[in-house]
Amino acid sequence: MAEPYTTTVVRIMGEDYPIKSDADPDYLSGLAKYVEEKILSISAKNRFPSKIKSEVLAALIIADEFFSEKKKNAQIDQKITELNSLLEKHMRPETL
């Protein structure tokens, strides 16, 4: 049976965000902390950034990280498939 949804309130840049999810509250808090760190990192690199620009840039950086990892995982999956095919080919008994 699926876990029931609970509401976890996370704080990012001084704003509260209630999140209804079955995810572990500590996990959600960790995500919020990661997002806030990205925003703060961008803000620190720009002298007078607007809040929304920093947030959008942080979202783009996080999206880039996500898609880069997704691409790497697809490449790994492809290599595993190729290796499995080679292994199966070499493990077949030779037919006469």
The pTM (predicted TM-score) of the whole model is 0.76
Give residue 39's pLDDT band: very low, low, confident or very high (50, 70, 90). Answer: very high
pLDDT of 1 reads 57
Helix 25-45 vs helix 51-91: crossing angle, to nearest 10: 120
- Whether the per-residue pLDDT at 2 is higher than 80: the answer is no
Mean pLDDT of the 82-87 span: 94
C-beta neighbour count of 96 within 10 angstroms: 3
